[in-house]
Structure 1
């Protein structure tokens, strides 16, 4: 079983650089899919309350026999909960569904910037971190201006900012803002839902190393220092996405993939997205 590199966060905690995501995994399939991921060797699980599958993830964790201290579990508070002032209750509900006493990372899922309710959520998360219910706190989909407000208003700097990043959307301004604040960048939709697999630099690297385009893109993220969590429900792909430690991309290959930036966003724009 491969040893996944870890990254040290600004609060001293460590996170496995490669994880497993469960976005869009149906609730009825979550237990089976996560059990497969844990069997392959993943120990970092990325979840969210709004995904609706925390119970299945919790059942897989309980049945796995993997000690809790070997797992890194992330979940997120949804907008309607923090806008209603229910951040603390939302976490307690997630803990119950996941069957754990604490989460390793709790994130504000979207800033929803029409108001600044995320600042109240951040205060509540700082308090829950002090209580031991959360090891690390962070944000997701925050633009530089949102990060600045949290850092200014809070007493804890976010450990992570999780944003859409892949070869077609590299969010360099956000990555630079993260680095300026000592925040680690975590990529969601790291494979661009397959949209970059036919791009020549990805295909060429895959041929050169005898691996899949998905493995090339995962390797690109890892070598560029980002944390990521590709998602699949297919056992073969779950295993393949984890099998990325037997080759290394050259600087020329990395730079060619860097050149694929084209503002190829697959999800909402955080500056405009105000979900309820």
Structure 2
């Protein structure tokens, strides 16, 4: 295990393993009153002076980027590592919009290049997320971005990115004693491909602390901070307040043993996970600083008896369902509001559609083959949707590289996008057909299909076939009956 205070996230990028998260700036400003940027910058300097040199922010974390810009100007451009995120709306995104977003962040942060730009996609079935990643990569090559990362990507789509040749150094995800989703296939993939996890939620909005030990269950309403509202939902999903109190009691015992805080033990556990590059601990700049407490993260080690005590109490919790980032894409929405109302207004159709003269509606995904061969990605007539044989083609690119599972997941995104564009949903699918080039690759393709159609289980056929295009390992088609 790496117990140093610092680690190399990527070549040329050394960070503090306890990052300071500035998402609570948005909560502090929810009454419309902005944080004084000079006072905020002064608070940031106190963290840097204590060795906490790495900060995480986003385009929607209130004025956090502007505060970071003032800090950079007042206290030196090389004093810290400033990470941000771009979280665009789930509409069709243009190349110029990507540049504008990056340039806006640079202006706010008073910087020539972003240390780490992390990208969030709301809807994998909408192809704009793929375009955005390639355009961000172009801006990296231009020198406006030093390193690319992701935030809230699940394992399947991290695999699509990596196997498509897009170099990302990190994936920022929720990872805590309450939420162990990142500890399975996500960590395995990251370790194999050299991607580091940046873990947020390690102290669950402050719930994993002495403050809540033995306390009555709070009411989930606007009296809580946004962060507390969010993580109260995680507590409920993990089994409820009584089980949470049992977890706190176990952590209290370990904290007293090491003469540290419950929050220290909770964050240390995640920091010690092999795929984790750092943990992100929130700060309310100018209101509450945890510098002295955070220093203790590097003053002790958890031994095997500590780890077994934690594993034992974790087995009593209900696992958070799904993969990383699912809380932003499917129920249960583990957000402050319990839905996506604070984040997005609506989700547009992934593909354009055209009405035919005979009552049919066509969906077009824009691949070169649709024009060459004269076909639609999908056609709806009545309540029936037929999706053409689909490969991992995006424009003129083949996605997923030589990984059959990554190609399969990208194809399933396209199938879902076509069906959504015609008024259906994945649950309406009644039949799929899968054609594979190599018989020995059936399992990762089948597992991708099984992951996406779990609980739906349409009729299915898989056959080996000589696919057109050497780069394609799998092709799929689907039939759906809307309202089925």
Work out the CA distance in 1 between the residues paired with 2:66 and 2:112: 14
Equivalence for 1:245 = 298
Work out the CA distance in 1 between the residues paired with 2:122 and 2:143: 24
1:13-69 deviation line (CA, Å, top 9, x unaligned): 333221100112135237334532431332101010011212123223322x2x323
Tell me which moved more, 96-105 or 220-229: 220-229
Equivalence for 1:231 = 282
Within the alignment, does 1:48 sit opposite 2:106 as a pair?
Answer: no
Work out the CA distance in 1 between the residues paired with 2:20 and 2:197: 16
Tell me which moved more, 76-85 or 45-54: 76-85
Report how far residue 229 of structure 1 moved.
1.4
Work out the CA distance in 2 between the residues paired with 1:118 and 1:262: 32
SS in 2 for 1:230: strand
Write out aligned runs for 1:125-140 (5 A).
Answer: 125-140=136-151
Which of 252, 261, 268 lines up with 1:203 in the alignment? 252
Within the alignment, does 1:71 sit opposite 2:120 as a pair?
Answer: no
Work out the CA distance in 1 between the residues paired with 2:145 and 2:265: 33
Equivalence for 1:21 = 21
Work out the CA distance in 2 between the residues paired with 1:62 and 1:163: 30
Which of 160, 169, 173 lines up with 2:170 in the alignment? 160
Report how far residue 240 of structure 1 moved.
1.7
Work out the CA distance in 1 between the residues paired with 2:250 and 2:35: 34
Report how far residue 221 of structure 1 moved.
2.2
- Any gaps of 5 or more consecutive residues in structure 1? none
Work out the CA distance in 1 between the residues paired with 2:167 and 2:289: 38
1:95-119 deviation line (CA, Å, top 9, x unaligned): 1011111111001123422313211
Q: 1:88 to 1:123 in 2, by over 3 A?
A: same
TM-score for the superposition, normalised by structure 1:
0.86
Work out the CA distance in 1 between the residues paired with 2:289 and 2:56: 20
Which of 93, 98, 101 lines up with 2:109 in the alignment? 98
Equivalence for 1:263 = 319
Which of 126, 149, 160 lines up with 2:160 in the alignment? 149
Work out the CA distance in 2 between the residues paired with 1:73 and 1:170: 27
Work out the CA distance in 2 between the residues paired with 1:164 and 1:256: 22
1:161-197 deviation line (CA, Å, top 9, x unaligned): 1101101112223222222322111111221223444
The structure that has the greater radius of gyration is: 2
Report how far residue 238 of structure 1 moved.
3.9
1:75-129 deviation line (CA, Å, top 9, x unaligned): 1111228842212210100110111111110011234223132111110111111
SS in 2 for 1:186: strand
Answer whether contact 1:168 1:196 (CA < 8 A) is retained: no
Q: 1:81 to 1:271 in 2, by over 3 A?
A: closer
Q: 1:82 to 1:131 in 2, by over 3 A?
A: farther
Report how far residue 270 of structure 1 moved.
4.3
Equivalence for 1:217 = 266
| Aligned residues: CA RMSD | 2.6
Answer whether contact 1:87 1:121 (CA < 8 A) is retained: yes
**Number of equivalenced pairs:** 270
Work out the CA distance in 2 between the residues paired with 1:4 and 1:106: 22
TM-score for the superposition, normalised by structure 2:
0.51
Work out the CA distance in 2 between the residues paired with 1:152 and 1:267: 20
SS in 1 for 2:282: coil
Equivalence for 2:186 = 174
